[in-house]
Structure 1
Amino acid sequence: MRTCAYEKGVCPVAFIDHLLIIGLLVAISAFFSMSEISLAAARKMKLQMLEAEGDSRAARVLALQQAPGHFFTVVQIGLNGVAILGGILGEQALTPYIEQSLNWLAGNQSWIPTLSFVSSFLTVTSVFILFADLIPKRLAMIAPEKVALLVVSPMLLCLRAFKPLVWLFNSVADLFFRLFQLPQTRDEQITSDEIVAMVDAGAEAGVLMEHEQHVIGNVFELDSRTVPSAMTVRDSIIYLSLQDSEDEVRQKVAEHPHTKFLVCDGQIDQVVGYVESKEILRRVLTGQSFTRLNELSVRNVLAVPDTLTLSDVLEQFKAGREDFAVVMNEYALVVGVITISDVLNTLMGNLVHPFSEDQIVQRDQQSWLIDGATSTEDVCRALGLDHLPEQGSYETIAGFMMTMLKRIPKRTDFVMVGDYKFEVVDIDHFRIDQLLVVRQSPPASGQ
């Protein structure tokens, strides 16, 4: 049996024993701190990937996350119990030793016991804050999934060891949750905004390339962008008429080498169907003549309303096994045509046709030339704007100008949006062909 001959109970052997116990308590507290953070912060998606790869520990972590009250209860029991024991043992271990050292340096002064106690308290508290709280939690935040896999087995043992206390405290906690009608399970639903935020973070970290970031962002825009934002507008449609002669058909195909042409009966709103240019080319190459377009296997055309989103159009293309459609408004008038390539252009940007003319051309750091048919989403992205005023009322930047001016714009008309001046610089009949956008200081007075 170990004994001490030192006064006031200051025994080096007991002091070392106390330090070892405090070190053990710090280690236990660090384990619970790491467990708390890692099990809460571990990402479900990554754990599911690890589970699919055959790691059984990931399945146990996911099970704990489904009932977080259990492991949080064990963590709090462990942390609070260790903190109390650490305070008691720390005061017993350090206070006599510090007091004896101060008495040797300053003599027996009345303030020495108080200072010894305060010094012992601050030392033990600092050790626990640094080594049992801050460092373990920061490590757990850096790699929560890896730490969670390491601590899940010991945590399950603690759950079984403290099962009666866990049941007691959880029962009381559940009573309060039911009393105040609070949710008791974590909502794991991921929104599109969260995915976009993750993609932005990945791009900033260099994990995703800039074009990959834009493609992923465009995928979610397919549900919000309507057909007019991607279609070929009515005035730009090149169509064939049943009354066209063979020479007229050949001339249109030669001057406008599209893969498909809308076929109408006299005027554009009398849609009959569409014909593929390869049918015409086949007849020309084989020396066959034709007198009417219906001899060229005119096909039924898919008609879609102009209120559909691009995502809806993709579904229509898939269901009808088509890649070409005519867009009609509520009055059964043709407002445009859309192809699957138009949707892919919206999705992929200039990756599909890298040499096509840009609708937005940045002249310098402060000005842009923008085609009037450019969608408002593309304009906001290029200018760094969150949205434009009354953005739900129009699809293109030309529609924005008409909505703001409340009339058909003419050249030099402009609208101010914050520091940006949107000015009409080119008009084709009544159609806004091009705008100049300049970033400048807000004007002193309105338009």
Structure 2
Amino acid sequence: MTLFDNLLVILCLVGASCFFSMSEIALAASRKIRLRQLADEGDVRAERVLQLQAHPGSFFTVVQIGLNAVAIMGGIVGESAFRPHFIALLQPWLADPWLGKLSFLLSFVLVTSLFILLADLMPKRVAMAMPEWVALRLVAPMSWCITVLRPLVWLFNGLANGLFKLLHIPTARNDEITSDDIYAVMNAGAEAGVLDRGDQQMMENVFEMQTVSVTSAMTARDTLVYFLLQDSEEDIKRKITEAPHTKFLVCDGQLDTVKGVVDAKELLIRVINGEQISLEGSNLVHNTLIIPDSLSLSESMEYFKNSRADFAVVMNEYALVVGIVTTNDLQRAVMGAWSLHESEEQIIARDANSWLVDGVTPITDVMRAFGIEEFPHSQNYETIAGFMMYMLRKIPKRTDFVNYAGYKFEVVDIDAYRVDQLLVTRLDALDKAQ
């Protein structure tokens, strides 16, 4: 055979190896979600790729048979094709035994380099860059190879399955998508600029609704403004003036004896019409939804949806009112800072390294604001004030502090044993200041 004939054979072998390399990487890297989308749109090739992904044993057996066979043949052909030409080239300067050894080494390096560059690196990088596109175009010839080599596939696949079974190694591909996978996709999208950071945060908040308690979004008991059945018209007007809400809780004598809820618009209509306002024995007080404090945000949303309500009283196991929650509160939990008025912000930056934090700020909001992965035993508290109480193992007082996750959490304001405000400072910033 001439040098041209040998080169042609080598290039054919390189092309065959390129085909098997691209097929292997494309099948492994193809995204199941994208393939399923193409299959639903009527692409038969996508369905065949999905079938190979579900049962890849025969496919990878053919790939390994092809790659090893081509590599062996390439070595044989390459050595006989290029060695005589290297001998003729080096004969004027070298004599045996160095002439034969160096010629063999050069032919080996040349053939190996061709296979590494053209049959391995380049096709695999192309397949990694666009796996679905490559997989769709190579699935038909790969299926044909599987059919032709079925006897060998049956033999080697059976041996491999027997060894896997003996070693208790699973062979089925796990395509279950977890919440961590979705978080990773959203983070990648945000880093690539495809997804806005605000949209990413909102979607993460939606996923967290299943694990975050409703108490993290409610208006706490100690800040509630409510009416008593016994309140006079002047008391009602004063409370509305001081806290102009759309709805008010109505109780009998004390907060824990809930009678219902009154709409401020109905009170306004009575005032406009010059009618007397009285809650006792009137039709102003309507029934209200009562939910347990053990519900998650998503479960609370379901309660609102089923009852067609937008206001609920949150009670604990002792039938004590712990707060109220509205659909706006749940929306705020999802939308985060987008739905907060400036005056309602619970975390306010003083400078680049310190923040003032309201004591009732949900612990999940603190985690997001400061990039803290988790708080210790967070199932025991819902707010940053609860975190301080848990860590200090006492009722906090002014100047008490806790160092955690690179931050100093210091109590700066107390209101009747309640942690009203904390100062959060980066510890490395404190060390530099000292």
TM range (shorter): over 0.9
Kindly report which structure 2 residues correspond to 1:195-206, keeping only aligned pairs within 5 A, or say none. Answer: 195-206=182-193
1-structure distance, mates of 2:163, 2:96 = 52
Asked if residue 407 in structure 1 is aligned to residue 359 in structure 2, the reply is no
Asked if residue 51 in structure 1 is aligned to residue 19 in structure 2, the reply is no
1:50-73 per-position Cα deviation (integer Å, ceiling 9, x unaligned): 222222221111111111112111
Contact 1:372 1:434 in 2 (8 A): yes
Asked if residue 175 in structure 1 is aligned to residue 162 in structure 2, the reply is yes
- 2:137 corresponds in structure 1 to 150
Asked if residue 14 in structure 1 is aligned to residue 2 in structure 2, the reply is yes
2-structure distance, mates of 1:172, 1:76 = 14
- 2:332 corresponds in structure 1 to 345
Alpha-carbon offset, residue 199 of structure 1: 0.7
Contact 1:279 1:296 in 2 (8 A): no
**Structure 1 residues 90-99 or 161-170, which shifts more?**
161-170
The amino acid that maps onto 1:30 is: C
- 1:26 corresponds in structure 2 to 14
Contact 2:267 2:277 in 1 (8 A): no
Kindly report which structure 2 residues correspond to 1:354-433, keeping only aligned pairs within 5 A, or say none. Answer: 354-433=341-420
Kindly report which structure 2 residues correspond to 1:9-408, keeping only aligned pairs within 5 A, or say none. Answer: 14-103=2-91, 105-408=92-395
2-structure distance, mates of 1:442, 1:42 = 46
Alpha-carbon offset, residue 328 of structure 1: 1.0
1:319-338 per-position Cα deviation (integer Å, ceiling 9, x unaligned): 22222111111211101011
2-structure distance, mates of 1:352, 1:380 = 19
User: SS in structure 2 opposite 1:124?
Assistant: helix
User: How much identity, in percent, do the aligned residues show?
Assistant: 54
Instruction: Indicate the RMSD between aligned Cα atoms, in angstroms.
Output: 1.8
Q: TM-score, normalised by structure 1?
A: 0.92
The amino acid that maps onto 2:266 is: E
User: SS in structure 2 opposite 1:379?
Assistant: helix
User: SS in structure 2 opposite 1:295?
Assistant: coil
Alpha-carbon offset, residue 310 of structure 1: 1.0
How many pairs does the alignment contain?
431
User: SS in structure 2 opposite 1:432?
Assistant: strand
The amino acid that maps onto 1:232 is: T
Contact 1:419 1:442 in 2 (8 A): no
* CA distance 1:263–1:83, change in 2 (3 Å): same
Q: TM-score, normalised by structure 2?
A: 0.95
Q: Could you list the runs of 4 or more consecutive aligned residues of structure 1 that deviate by over 4 angstroms after TM superposition?
A: none
- 1:4 corresponds in structure 2 to none
**Structure 1 residues 434-443 or 402-411, which shifts more?**
434-443
1-structure distance, mates of 2:398, 2:80 = 87
1:25-60 per-position Cα deviation (integer Å, ceiling 9, x unaligned): 111111111110111110111111122222222111
Contact 2:279 2:285 in 1 (8 A): no
**Structure 1 residues 434-443 or 299-308, which shifts more?**
434-443
- Structure 2 gaps, min length 5: none
Contact 2:250 2:260 in 1 (8 A): yes
Alpha-carbon offset, residue 376 of structure 1: 1.4
Contact 1:275 1:296 in 2 (8 A): no
Contact 2:209 2:296 in 1 (8 A): yes
Alpha-carbon offset, residue 355 of structure 1: 4.1
Alpha-carbon offset, residue 244 of structure 1: 1.6
